Amino acid sequence: MSDSEPPPSERRTGIRHLACFAASVERPDGKTRTAMIRDLSESGALVLVRTNKLAVGDPVKLELYIMDDPKEFRTASGHVVRVELLGEKAAGLWSRKIAVEFDAPITIYKKEIDALRERQARLGMDKW
């Protein structure tokens, strides 16, 4: 990395919104696992997972439960760009966090993402 390049965590192409909502991750082996979205933008997401079967470069498909109706979800495909183990104090239910860059910006979900952000702000969840 050159001196002029930002660190990997600052190369985001979209504004990330603090979030905390259910999701699922489909791994390259086709198995789907429960996950939690920690932050979300139109270009990617930070996802809390329990699986240890994801590595940088792996393709993933996310189901994003960002709708008012908990039975509805939106999908986004991308690839893993970072995997970090969570420390014992931070882990709880989740053992890792993965950064996912979407294959294409999910601009079609902007309305739902904005509505989710507003709902969470009303609940005080935007200050975590």
Greater confidence, 60 or 66? 60
Q: How confident is the model at residue 44 (pLDDT cuts 50, 70, 90)?
A: very high
Tens digit of each residue's pLDDT (9 = 90 or more) over 68-107:
777 888 899 999 999 999 877 665 788 999 999 999 998 8
If one counts every other C-beta atom within 10 angstroms of the C-beta of residue 85, the result is 11
| Phi, psi (degrees; rounded to nearest 5) at 37 | -80, 125
Q: What is the CATH number of the domain that holds 81?
A: 2.40.10.220
Examine residue 35 and state whether it is found in any structural domain, yes or no. yes
Mean pLDDT across 25-51:
92
Query: Domain range for residue 63?
Result: 8-117
pTM of the predicted protein model: 0.76
Tens digit of each residue's pLDDT (9 = 90 or more) over 100-128:
999 999 888 888 888 877 877 787 655 54
Q: Helices marked H in the chain — which ranges?
A: 88-91, 110-122
Examine residue 1 and state whether it is found in any structural domain, yes or no. no
* pLDDT for position 12: 47
Examine residue 3 and state whether it is found in any structural domain, yes or no. no
- Asked whether residue 33 carries a pLDDT value surpassing 60, the answer given is yes
Report the percentage of the chain scoring pLDDT > 70.
Answer: 79
